[in-house]
Structure 1
Amino acid sequence: MKILDVVLTPVAFADPPLLNVMGVHEPFALRSVVQVKCEDGVVGLGESYGDDAFLGEVRKVLPQLRGHDVFDLPGLQRLVARALSDTVLTDAHGLIGGFSIRKTVASVYSLFEVACLDAQGQYLGRPVTDLLGGKARDAVEFSAYLFYKYGRHVDGRADTWGEITTPETLVGSAKRMIDEYGFRSIKLKGGVFEPAQEVDGIRALAEAFPGHPLRIDPNAAWTVETGIRVAAELDGVLEYLEDPTPGIDGMAQVAERASMPLATNMCVVNFGDIEPGFRARAIGVLLSDHHFWGGLRATQSLSVTCESFGVGLSMHSNSHLGISLAAMVQVAAATPHLTYACDTHWPWKVEDVIEPGVLEFRDGAVAVPSTPGLGVKLDEDALAKLHENYVRCGLTKRDDVTYMRKYVEGFEPNTARW
């Protein structure tokens, strides 16, 4: 089945002022949506990053896709690699590790692979899970993803969550998420305040929600010494400690002393990192992300590698919309070695580009759609609205640092700051 046309639409959707080591989220998060239009009227959907640099690389590939067979994924990978042979994207927001040519190609290829698999599934009348080998589970479990946050954006726009900066408000936000979505595990984005304050937050969550597995991710905000100390303080409290300190060497030093496994989506971020990361025993859990690991099938390959070396597997999340969540659910369902609840930013968004009613959370999990392809349909009016947001907001890249300086004059991000 040949591709007739590919439509790329950058979009922006409202995002709360969520805090992290690099600063604070801007009023809008940027994403890209592709529609791969094929023979027989089939349209496959994909979603990924929306910053200008990424869009520029995607546009290099678009003219070469016309006439390509959606079932020829190896050929698609070669096509993308040729088009981007001299390009290396950068991790502008500093939260998903370094980029290389390999990771750049993987990120762009993933966008189109998902859309092609969606088209394949629609054409064959089978869900994407079937194309990936079948379901290992009927529903995919996610964790409540908590953030410290400001009460409003600098323009005065507030949200229904309010300010979250204390253990008490942190527990309140967790209660709301658990009440609304049924989450059975909890993750805290740290690296915002002094480690002692964030340890207090985790302890408050442990007291308020006994039996809920807990994890914290300071995005490498701590020194090795601090990472070791916090790991000792939270012994018996955390299911895993994510990216306490920068780099494979630093992580290995913390891992050697920590009782809980260390997890990462920052120091092992492509297949070339696996050998040094695993050899150093730097991590016990790897957070997959099909958006930059090279798609859904690459995620399955990553899972097999992790299982072979006794490394657990979870799933990373950035601010995303429903097409990405659908892809995450499909690949997670078809990946037997998924050993932890996945991350998702889903509760923080208030708008989307898909028709509602398919991706519903129950007891913290999303049932795997049984309809063809990804199982979701594009809402054309919503897509147009979010594209208009993109045009109006004027943002062309994620920049948590500059936006943070509107709250804290002279703010400078710094990994291993504590």
Structure 2
Amino acid sequence: MRIGEVVVTPVAFPDPPLLNSAGVHQPWALRAIVELRGEDGLVGLGETYGDAPHLALLRRAAPAVTGLDPFDTNGLLRRIAGVLGAADAPDRHGLTGGSSPTRTTLKVLGPFETACLDLQGQLTGRPVADLLGGRVRDEVPYAGYLFYRWAAHPAQPGPLPDRDGDPFPEALDAGGIVEQAGQLVEQYGFRSLKLKGGVLPPEEEVEAIRELRAAFPDHPLRLDPNAAWTVETSVRVGERTEGLLEYLEDPTPGIAGMAKVARRVPMPLATNMCVVAPEDLPPGFGARAVGVVLADHHYWGGLRRSAELAAVCRTWGVGVSMHSNSHLGISLAAMTQLGAALPELTYAADTHTPWQGGVDVVAEPLRIAGGAVRVPDRPGLGVRLDPDALARLHENYLRCGVRERDDTAYRARFEPGYRKRRPRW
């Protein structure tokens, strides 16, 4: 079978006003849905970022994928690399680290590789986890992702999403975070909790961790300030949270800064910001800057390269989790298939699924229950596209007016003078 047609569809879906070190989420999150349509009627699915620069690169690469055998993923990389050359599309909001031509190529490769694996699974009658070596677990654990947040998006020109899909109230202090955690644990059964930090002064975020520990004594906790702290602040927080955190994620910018912190704090440091591409592995691991890598198939080049990353982590004695951005059900399915096949997955994976308000492009989204997603037995990724839902979310994209994520500029609209600073404290 050959790939007969490639379709890339940008979509938008409601996103609550979640705060982070760069600013605040805009009312609409952007994604791109990739369909690889086989000559025999099968369709392979991938999902990726929907920002305009990335979307342009996806569309540039798409014609090169037509005619390819979906089992030829080495050929897929050659074709995409040949088309993109030295193209580089930096991440404006900077929450997933730096950029390079290599990393840009891998980001474009990711959804096409995932869609090829989906087709391979359908053609062989096997779940993608089987193609990655076979499942080592039947359920993949996910962590409840906690955010400081506004109650609602401020009134502004342009369409706003319907508030009915957002049941979570304002959370601007420790009490609000504990209340939010209670909602997530009750609804989804999460057994691990992660707080997105870098929003309030570090002392207030430490207090939130202490109150979470009191409220959830058996839940592993993690804190991610997205490089908002200096080395000294990071060390101080690390010392004050000894015994409270399973890991501290990206407290300070860069491999050199992370290495300095790692030598002085009692818990492992995790990253999805300083070790983000193959060229980062020798310096990052050599300096012992990180103890956990948050693999993300969206920018590591797909599922097989993420599995290769996990094997490298095993060699160096580095733990593995998975990073998340605002996403839909194709990404959740891909993460679940990958997590099912990774013996190295030592920590519950991140997910934004609870924040999407039930909106999706797949007909029967995978469910989080008991803090985990059961691995589907269906061939491929185990999910199928809902064409009507895809059309609705594409219409959202056409009318919402958002074409590139910019958390900093959005926050500055309501707080004049606000700017992103790393480190801030």
The reply to whether TM is greater than 0.5 is yes
Residue number in structure 1 paired with 2:68: 68
**Unpaired stretches in structure 1, ≥5 consecutive residues:** none
Alignment-derived partner of residue 80 in structure 2: 80
1:256-271 superposed matches below 5 A? 256-271=263-278
Quote the residue 2:214 is aligned against: 207
Paired position in structure 2 for 1:355: 363
For residues 62 and 295 of structure 1, what CA distance do their matches in structure 2 show? 16
The CA deviation at 1:407 is 2.4
Following the alignment from structure 2 to structure 1, what is the Cα–Cα distance between the partners of residues 278 and 86?
A: 19
Q: Secondary structure at the match of 2:299?
A: helix
Alignment of 1:294-333 (within 5 A): 294-333=301-340
Equivalent in the alignment of 2:254: 247
CA-to-partner distance for each residue in 1:200-228, whole Å, 9 max, x for gaps?
11111000000100000000000000000
Q: How many residues align?
A: 417
Q: Do residues 13 (structure 1) and 20 (structure 2) align?
A: no
Task: Give the one of 184, 198, 204 matched to 1:197.
Answer: 204
Task: Work out the CA distance in 1 between the residues paired with 2:39 and 2:128.
Answer: 19
Deviates more, 1:406-415 or 1:201-210: 406-415
3-state SS in 2 of match to 1:59:
helix
Aligned partners of 1:207 and 1:69: how far apart in 2? Answer: 54
Within 5 A, what are the aligned runs for 1:82-161? 82-155=82-155, 158=163, 159-161=166-168
Q: Residue by residue, what CA displacement relative to the aligned partner does 1:318-344 show, whole Å, maximum 9, x if unpaired?
A: 000000000000011111111000000
Instruction: Give the equivalent residue in structure 2 for 1:163.
Output: 170
**1:181-208 deviation line (CA, Å, top 9, x unaligned):** 0000100000001000111111110000
- The SS at the match of 1:339 is coil
Deviation at 1:301, TM superposition (A): 0.4
User: Hey, what does 2:239 align to over in structure 1?
Assistant: 232
Per-residue deviation at 1:400? 0.4
2:398 is the counterpart of 1:391 = yes
Aligned to 1:275: 282
Aligned counterpart, 2:350: 343
CA shift, 1:61, in A, is 1.1
CA drift at 1:413 = 0.7
TM-fit CA distance, 1:80 = 0.5
Provide the C-alpha distance between the structure 2 equivalents of 1:243 and 1:294, rounded to a whole number of angstroms: 22
Query: How far, CA to CA, are the matches of 2:136 and 2:282 in structure 1?
Result: 27
Q: Partners of 1:192 and 1:294 in 2: how far apart?
A: 30
How far the C-alpha of 1:165 sits from its partner, in A, is: 0.6
- The RMSD of aligned alpha carbons is 0.9
Question: Counterpart of 1:80 in 2: which secondary structure?
Answer: helix
2-structure distance, mates of 1:132, 1:84? 27
Q: 2:374 corresponds to which residue?
A: 367
| Distance of 2:86 and 2:133 partners within structure 1 | 34
Aligned residue for 2:63, secondary structure, equals: helix
Quote the Cα distance in structure 2 between the aligned partners of 1:412 and 1:107: 27
**1:45 equivalent in alignment to 2:53:** no
**Aligned-partner SS, 1:155:** coil
Q: Distance in 2 between matches of 1:368 and 1:99?
A: 33
- Partner Cα distance (1:325, 1:62) in 2: 23
Aligned to 2:292: 285
Which deviates further from its counterpart, 118-127 or 4-13? 118-127
Per-residue deviation at 1:155? 2.0
Aligned partner of residue 102 in structure 2, secondary structure: helix
SS at match of 2:80: helix
Report SS of the residue matched to 1:41.
coil
CA–CA separation in structure 2 for the residues paired with 1:9 and 1:228:
44
Q: SS where residue 387 of structure 1 aligns?
A: helix
Letter of the structure 2 residue corresponding to residue 89 of structure 1: A
**Partner SS, residue 298 of structure 2:** helix
What's the secondary structure of 2:48's corresponding residue? Answer: strand
One-letter code aligned to 2:257: G
Which amino acid letter does the alignment assign opposite residue 51 of structure 1? Answer: D
* TM-score, normalised via structure 1 length: 0.99
Paired AA for residue 337 in structure 2: Q
Q: Aligned-pair distance for 1:39?
A: 1.8
Distance across 2 between alignment mates of 1:62 and 1:299? 22
Distance 1:149 1:325 in 2: 23
* Higher deviation after alignment, 402-411 or 275-284: 402-411
- TM-score normalised to the size of structure 2? 0.97
Following the alignment from structure 2 to structure 1, what is the Cα–Cα distance between the partners of residues 334 and 214? 34
Equivalent pair of 1:154/1:406 in contact (CA under 8 Å): no
